[in-house]
């Protein structure tokens, strides 16, 4: 009897989980391996973990990469002030740190630390450019323990201190043509 596999349907990480499950619970792994669609796969997983009543069609969307990326983005935005770590994100998602790290990379297209650094730098740049908040207030908004660690982070990220960045932004204005330069062109 030939066993049908759905290796073309399931992403690599699901195949790896199925292989791990096969070692510990062969009957459940066989049912997962026979799943032809994501819906069938989720039904088996729900039965396996008795989650049938917990997962509704709305929850299925969170299991898709675009639903997961939105969930991650909202979590990070909502908790940026807490000094986020991969451990906190892993606890929120209910995964181990290693699995969460791999999942983050495949879902978001960059490492957790790279993404967090970019988000903090972008938010800091925006706050420095558009508000009068002090460096200490911005540091708190971004989850830094003090303004000095924030200033060090920002300088490493942008090549300028927060004060230099704010000063440079204030001095940049659209170039204006002077009367003398317009006369020279004639």
Domain ranges for the chain, please list them: 12-63, 65-171
In this prediction the pTM is 0.57
Task: Return d(Cα 143, Cα 85) in angstroms, integer.
Answer: 10
Q: Give the right CATH number for 65-171 from 1.10.10.60, 3.40.309.10, 1.10.3720.10, 3.40.50.1370.
A: 1.10.10.60
pLDDT of residue 9: 47
| 23-37, 47-61, 127-141, range with the lowest pLDDT | 47-61
Averaged pLDDT, 160-176? 73
CB-based contact 69:112 (threshold 8 Å): no
Structure tokens at 119: 């988000």
């Amino acid at each position: 009897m030939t066993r049908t596999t759905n290796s073309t349907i399931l992403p690599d990480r699901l195949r790896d989980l199925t292989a791990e499950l096969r070692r510990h619970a062969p009957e459940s792994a066989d049912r997962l391996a026979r799943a032809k669609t994501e819906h069938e796969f989720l039904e088996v997983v729900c039965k396996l973990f008795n989650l049938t009543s917990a997962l509704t069609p709305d929850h299925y969307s969170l299991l898709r990469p675009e639903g997961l990326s939105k969930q991650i983005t909202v979590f990070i935005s909502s908790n940026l002030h807490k000094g986020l770590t991969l451990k906190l994100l892993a606890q929120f998602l209910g995964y181990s740190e290693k699995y969460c790290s791999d999942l983050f990379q495949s879902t978001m297209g960059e490492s957790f630390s790279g993404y967090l650094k970019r988000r903090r730098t972008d938010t800091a740049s925006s706050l420095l450019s558009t508000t009068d908040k002090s460096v200490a207030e911005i540091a708190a908004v971004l989850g830094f323990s003090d303004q000095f660690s924030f200033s060090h982070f920002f300088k490493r990220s942008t090549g300028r201190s927060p004060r230099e960045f704010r000063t440079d932004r204030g001095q940049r204005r659209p170039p204006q043509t002077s009367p003398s330069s317009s006369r020279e062109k004639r």
